[in-house]
Amino acid sequence: MRDALQFWLQAGVDGVQIRDVESLVGAPSYLAEWHNVTKNFSEDRLLIAGTELSSLEEILRLLAVSRDLLLTSSYLSASGFTGKETEELVTQYLNATDNRWCSWSLSQAGLLASVVPAHLLRLYHLLLFTLPGTPVFSSGDEIGLKAAALPGQPAKAPVMLWGGSSSANTSGPVSSNLTVQGQSGDPNSLLSLFRRLSDLRGKERALLHGDFHVLSSGPDLFSYVRQWDQNKHFLVVLNFGDVPQAARLGASGLPASLSLPAEAELLLSTQPGRKEGDRVELDHLSLKPHEGLLLQFP
């Protein structure tokens, strides 16, 4: 395996993904060795390990030797796609990993739209991009590609749909709202949301390296603040529920040096209807069903 890694790295691949690593005897040691091979070759190359495990104890065992290994798993899928269960899973993971650099996904290699209910897909994009660590997506997640959704597509590894006309990748015409070309010009598309979140995460130190503080909030909501030194703060409020919800944000879990302001500036919503840059009164903040909000304050 070491020789195979060296071969493909020298051939110019950007990274290597190894699935079902839990089946390896002595997996933590092998993963540490392969991770070192990749990092020693170049800091720009990645090794991504994948597992079908969802048990936190088993995941921590795989990560025991390599603190910054990217590991995809079904851990977050065990939430039942509810706000409070997701909050518990994230909090437990961060506490157990003891400041280790984390990676976040919903499965070891599958497409997000094949795992997450359609009405929560945008909300999960916002969640993954704003948790501390690295979000891991599959090619096609940015347009909501779903396994086996189109005739002629391989079920386990659908290819990216760039344009709307038929091609060697599909057996017929494809609706424009399922393609990169079709979504690029639509400010309300999933692709536009993905690009905005990716851009924000790349530019804002609080989203990249900031501390993570969970807030108390209404039923089936998951809310938190990302903070980094004197940089701007980011507030994320996610409504996993099927009905509108008052946020009812509580700051009792925040450190003494941090408090919630009366107002925050809206950066984006996962749903249309809100205006970027609007000032939002946090005491009166209410979310639509399945809506996620990203706000900022000084």
Task: Extract the tokens encoding 220.
Answer: 């089936």
CATH number at residue 214: 2.60.40.1180
Residues 6+ apart with CB under 8 A from 149: 158, 178
Note whether residue 222 is domain-resident: yes
Note whether residue 245 is domain-resident: yes
> What's the rounded Cα separation, in Å, for the pair 72 and 51?
6
Q: How many CA atoms lie within 13 A of 182 on its CB side?
A: 15
Domain encompassing residue 266 = 209-297
Note whether residue 158 is domain-resident: no
Q: How many CA atoms lie within 13 A of 73 on its CB side?
A: 24
Phi, psi of 282 (to 5 degrees): -70, -30
Phi, psi of 30 (to 5 degrees): -65, -45
- Note whether 190 and 144 are within 8 A (CB): yes
Of 104, 137, 165, which residue is a domain's last? 104
Note whether residue 137 is domain-resident: no
Note whether residue 186 is domain-resident: no
Q: How far is CA 110 from CA 136, 179, 195, in A?
A: 11, 19, 20
CA terminus-to-terminus distance, the chain: 49
What is the number of structural domains in the chain? Answer: 2
Task: Extract the tokens encoding 89.
Answer: 């899973």
- Please give the torsion angle defined by the CA atoms of residues 198, 189, 117 and 243, in that order, rounded to the nearest 10 degrees: 100
Of 82, 104, 126, which residue is a domain's last? 104
Note whether residue 30 is domain-resident: yes
Note whether residue 181 is domain-resident: no
Give the model's pLDDT for residue 168.
46
- Note whether 126 and 198 are within 8 A (CB): no
Give the model's pLDDT for residue 155.
55
Give the model's pLDDT for residue 167.
47
- Note whether 70 and 136 are within 8 A (CB): yes
CATH number at residue 20: 3.20.20.70
3-class DSSP state for residue 197?
helix
- Number of C-beta neighbours around residue 40 at 10 A: 10
β-partners of residue 48 are 17, 70
**CA Rg value for the chain:** 20
Note whether residue 143 is domain-resident: no
DSSP sequence for 14-47: SEEEE--GGGSTTHHHHHHHHHHHHHHH-TT-EE
For each of the chain's 298 residues, which pLDDT tens digit applies?
Answer: 999 999 999 999 999 999 999 999 999 999 999 999 999 999 999 999 999 999 999 999 999 877 789 999 999 999 999 999 999 999 999 999 887 889 999 999 888 998 999 999 999 999 999 999 999 999 899 999 886 545 555 555 566 777 755 444 555 556 656 788 888 888 999 999 999 999 999 999 999 999 999 999 988 999 999 999 888 999 999 999 999 999 999 998 899 989 999 999 999 999 999 999 999 999 999 999 999 999 999 9
Q: Considering only CA atoms, which of 197, 163, 159 is closest in space to residue 180? A: 163
Give the model's pLDDT for residue 24.
93
The identity of residue 182, as a single letter, is: G
Where do the H-state alpha helices sit in the chain? 2-10, 27-41, 56-62, 83-97, 121-130, 180-184, 190-203, 205-209
Of 46, 79, 104, which residue is a domain's last? 104
- Using the structure block, give the residue that is written with the tokens 């409504």: 239
